[in-house]
């Protein structure tokens, strides 16, 4: 994965000059509590409803390998992808692809977990091999957790492990420490010897789970953004209601992610979901600069901002109000609330 940003440079991503209006769009997503609504919307006609409204076609494609979906987006094969803010910076942005966070779906509020086998204190991790998806949000969670107790990555040995292999890896005798996210974390923690030693509740707002789109495609196709925004908030309104339809929707999402209604609601409890456009807009008005600084520092320390990066601010990040964090001449990641505001105003 360390080479992903470099690999991305070998492709020819769509530039602002090349982007054109079009009718057909593809968006990649993967199994995660905060992204299950997208799969539900695809399977239950909500995607088609909003695509038809704007006379376009939208296909939401599930990837079993989360990173591969982001890599395909970076290569230009997809118009959008579900990604964390950190991975959006580390892969498409570092690969030279100007990307926009169209919507923050949620932030992790306990979904990313450092799990120890037979131990329950984070300090017990010292000297252990730690299985995780290297250079991912799990790696970030480990680094921030270690920092919180005065330790660093030098105190452990990181073992790169695919998210698809995480549960099987935990079941082997040699694996004693693991960092992963739900639903894998929940399944592992069901084991009597598994203990939550640290989780993202200690990192509020830092691990954002977002819909990321190609900026050039967005500018050339605003109806695509309107439809995706409409899809999200209609699905959010459905699943957050106190109705039998909401219960059925969440049950379907749980089953699709390998659990049931009870298991899915437990995962939702560890997630700060943005059920309304006002929720998302309000979050962007908090101290995003401070939150982002933790992420960019991690990426810089691990040489994930590109070969030319000389500081954590090498890649400029544009906030909804136009403020730029980092290099204003190299903006490659942007937040927008333009379409969420349209939803809030009933103008989609």
pLDDT tens readout for residues 193-243: 999 999 999 999 999 999 999 999 999 999 999 999 999 999 999 999 999
What CATH fold (topology level) applies to the domain 112-202? D-Maltodextrin-Binding Protein; domain 2 (3.40.190)
Give mean pLDDT, residues 279-288.
Answer: 91
Give mean pLDDT, residues 51-76.
Answer: 96
Domain boundaries, the chain: 4-107+206-344, 112-202
pLDDT band at 8 (very low <50, low <70, confident <90, very high): very low
Q: Give the end-to-end CA distance of the chain in Å, rounded to a whole number.
A: 38
Q: Decide whether 4-107+206-344 matches 112-202 in CATH topology.
A: yes
Q: Give how far Cα 82 sits from Cα of 33, 192, 214, Å.
A: 12, 32, 12
Q: Which residues contact 155 (CB under 8 A, 6 or more apart)?
A: 125, 126, 127, 146
Nearest to 180 by CA among 35, 66, 302: 66
Considering the segment(s) 4-107+206-344 as one domain, its CATH architecture is 3-Layer(aba) Sandwich (3.40)
* pTM for the predicted model, two decimal places: 0.88
Query: Residue 13: is its pLDDT beyond 80?
Result: no
């Amino acid at each position: 994965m360390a080479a992903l940003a470099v690999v991305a440079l070998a492709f020819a991503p769509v530039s602002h000059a090349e982007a054109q209006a079009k009718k057909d769009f593809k968006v990649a997503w993967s199994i995660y509590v905060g992204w299950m609504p997208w799969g539900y919307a695809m399977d239950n006609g909500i995607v088609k409803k909003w695509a038809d409204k704007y006379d376009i076609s939208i296909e939401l494609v599930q990837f079993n390998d989360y990173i591969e979906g982001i890599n395909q987006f970076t290569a230009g094969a997809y118009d959008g992808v579900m990604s964390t803010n950190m991975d959006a910076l580390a892969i498409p942005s570092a690969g030279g692809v100007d990307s926009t966070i169209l919507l923050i779906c949620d932030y992790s509020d306990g979904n990313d977990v450092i799990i120890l086998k037979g131990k329950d204190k984070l300090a017990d991790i010292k000297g252990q091999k730690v299985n995780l998806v290297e250079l991912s949000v799990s790696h970030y969670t480990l680094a921030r957790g270690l920092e919180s107790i005065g330790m660093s990555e030098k105190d452990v040995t990181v073992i790169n492990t695919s998210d698809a292999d995480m549960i099987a890896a935990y079941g082997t005798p040699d694996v004693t420490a693991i960092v992963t996210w739900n639903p894998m974390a929940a399944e592992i923690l069901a084991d009597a010897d598994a203990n939550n030693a640290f989780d993202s509740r200690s990192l509020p707002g830092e691990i954002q789970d977002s819909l990321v789109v190609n900026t050039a495609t967005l500018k050339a196709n605003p109806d695509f953004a309107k439809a995706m925004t409409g899809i999200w908030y209609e699905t959010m309104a459905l699943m957050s209601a106190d109705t039998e339809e909401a219960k059925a929707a969440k049950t379907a999402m749980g089953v699709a992610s390998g659990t049931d209604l009870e298991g899915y609601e437990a995962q939702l409890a560890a997630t700060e979901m943005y059920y309304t456009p006002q929720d998302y807009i309000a979050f962007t008005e908090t101290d995003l600069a401070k939150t982002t600084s933790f992420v960019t520092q991690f990426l810089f320390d691990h040489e994930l901002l590109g070969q030319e990066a000389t500081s954590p601010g090498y890649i400029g990040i544009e906030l909804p109000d136009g403020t730029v964090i980092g290099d204003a001449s190299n903006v490659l990641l942007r937040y927008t609330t333009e379409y969420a505001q349209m939803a809030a105003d009933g103008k989609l």
